[in-house]
Structure 1
Amino acid sequence: MPSRGYKLALAILIVCFAYTVAAKVVPEKLGSIGLLSTQEVEEQLQHCPIVEALTARNALTHAATPSYLQQAFSLLFPFESPAINAMMGTLYISGPPNFLLALCPTDIDPSNLNVMVAFAVGGLLGDTLFHLLPEIFLGEVPEGTVRAVLVEPNKNLLLGVAIMVGFVTFVAMDKGLRIATGGAGHSHDHGHSNDSSKIDEKPTTTGRSSEKADSLRQRKPDTKGSTKTAVLAEPKDKPSVKLSAYLNIIADFTHNITDGLALSSSFYASPTIGATTTLAVFCHEIPHEVGDFALLIQGGMSKKTAMGLQFVTALGAVLGTVIGIAVQEFGGNSASAAASAVSGVGNVGLAGTSLVWGDLLLPFTAGTFLYVGTVGVIPEILETGPDRWKELRSMGLQFLAMAAGAGIMLGISWS
């Protein structure tokens, strides 16, 4: 019978052997897993039995025929290339709003567009919160399938930074325009942004000033031999008014560049996200273009000149789309990086994550949408006049319009 010392020595040998095996095998296994990229790990997760079972179940319950909304999107964007579809979306948001300006009267008041702007802002916020942000952090799941997503904390942090950079970029642009215009700035809703474009009222003259004003009067005989007084118009401060109008054009051009970036990045994310973003931007562009057109008219420009300058600002959307397509094609995105990545080398993207530069365009434009949808309209909603009942009715219409815009985006996302 083995002695107690023999048993103790045998136990020690077994423990040492187990430790040696674990010290060699476990790190090798963990190391092989650690060298997999995020996309490779997610690809392997799709073959888990529970994911495959859920995918099979969804495929049985999923409708084989596309919905009317999907058919409409396919008709509007029939191409397989996201670049061509993005250019199509740019034509949709730039063409009709500019042609609509030919039907606009020259005495339109931008403050009358508040309800339309509220609807557009509801669409922008709905598109950002219901479509863009879920796509940014989780990606889009093809209909009838189930997908497992590996949470990558540092990737989410970088995406959040890109959203903040987009938001702060518009804050800096708006602040710079306010400094350039002496505090007037560029408002995206145009409710009260025409103050700097209005021609100053004629000041009251007293003393020698009144004598100088009287010297501008001349007496003109009428047909009955009597006389009547005609007042010569005083010169108006046209240069300063037109400076504000031209600064407004610069702001519109920059804003349209971000619209083009949004369209290109959203179509590269998925056709559905691209279509919904096009719809949201289109709803925003109509009151935006009409309001800017009214400001240019009030700035002393002719209707023909104002329409021509608005067409020039629309080219900013084309430029933004081209820039976005170039970034996506040459800077890459997660899908293209995963397709070209070498297996077994892990994540080789930004800061050791799976992100590449092209993936930052969509969160950047989401940040700009958040700025336009919040800072651009909330100050106007908070402003009130002396007539309480009129303000309550106006507020109710604005909230209903905003809810309608957001509801459309929610319905598209839900279905």
Structure 2
Amino acid sequence: MFIGDVRRVQLRARSTRTWVTIAAVVLLLGALQVTASVAGFQGPLHSLISDYVATPKSATVSWVALGVALVGLTNRCRILALSVAAALDIGFAAERVLRGGALTLGNGPLLVLTGLAVMAWRLWTGAERTTALRGIAFGFLLIIATKVGDTWLRITAAVRPTVLDEYALLADHALAQVSWLMGRLVEAGGPVPSALLHWVYIELPVAAMVVAIYQLRNVRTGVWPRHFLIRTFLVLGLIGPAIYVLFPVVGPDYAFGSAGHGFAVGDYWPHALPPVDLTPVAVAFDDLTARNCMPSMHTAWALAVFIHSRGGPYWMRLAGTFWLVGTIAATLGFGYHYGVDLVAGAVLCLTVESALREPVPERIRSPRALVAFGSAFLVVLLLCCRYLAEAMAHHPLIFGPLIVVAMAVFSMAFYATFFGRAVGEPGRIVVADGSDPLASTT
């Protein structure tokens, strides 16, 4: 009887947390929609409705969300859901093209995802219902996070009329102006490497879906991994964009290149460095371009994909490495970010991962120390870029190695805490989520 009472209390607490989360999401979406309507741009609810019945904003996100949701379903339900989603998508796309609209996809998977949620809630019971709803919830959270992020980007432009790109430019002297270097390499490479990098940059959600589905492949048995990629993605999406308004930056191609549309300091990127001005100022910019450079969230998410791909087979580890390298090359080579942005994104990712992961058994290092170090590292980096940018440009041989060494130490400490050799099995590496990255390579 006592065990039954405890079980009922746990179920009641879980149900309460679920409804509180749903209420918080609804309130957030409502507040952002009101803000967007007052400011005169599309809000998250408007965008979500468009994805259902009009032109979807993204052809990828809803398919990624459906793919994640399918991990909790039977094979029969998966095949049926994918078939219906594809048929609906083709129908919506054909109708849109016939009336002169854009050729894009995305309606079908969102409609099917909603139908699955209703079916699981109303028709299924027990563990089947719980597992299915959990996967569907993660799918919806990915879509909602994207809508919130899009709205937040517009808000950053509205609330921060000036940008700090001159400070970031000076600070990046400590890292040898890698955006200008990579920009010239990409430009010299021609259209084929450029197209490949664009594809890698845009389709990062697809890479994340592949890794996430692999991690969640066994949840039908009722066993969910202690930590998986989607959790990291969602937490990064909550924390990272908040920094945008603290350190508003638009990127080299906008502030110092051709994409500035009259607001750029000059047309320098990537063929020439701007004149060094040791008295940087905040520069007025338009009210449309997102201030979304510091930190580089693409770098943070790509690094998260890389880290979580370590627990997969060889092809997945290779793909995770490819996506990380390609994303870094794209963010720098297209003038979207400065080098310091990438460092900030990497530090943010490792800090969030340290907070969410469990350390390797038998390790004495505490993840709390890593979280504290990473948080301090990020704060100090932001403060240096804002208040010591002139010193960083004057003394690159001091600040550059300091940044690189601090990043290397943080990375090695992260590896030592969450990745390590299994006790009693030399040569076997065990990841902190309990998986063996070498187990499925053959």
Query: What TM-score results when the alignment is normalised by the length of structure 2?
Result: 0.29
**If you compute each CA radius of gyration, which structure gives the higher value, 1 or 2?**
1
Tell me which of the two structures has the higher relative contact order, counting C-alpha pairs closer than 8 angstroms and 6 or more residues apart: 1
Query: What TM-score results when the alignment is normalised by the length of structure 1?
Result: 0.31
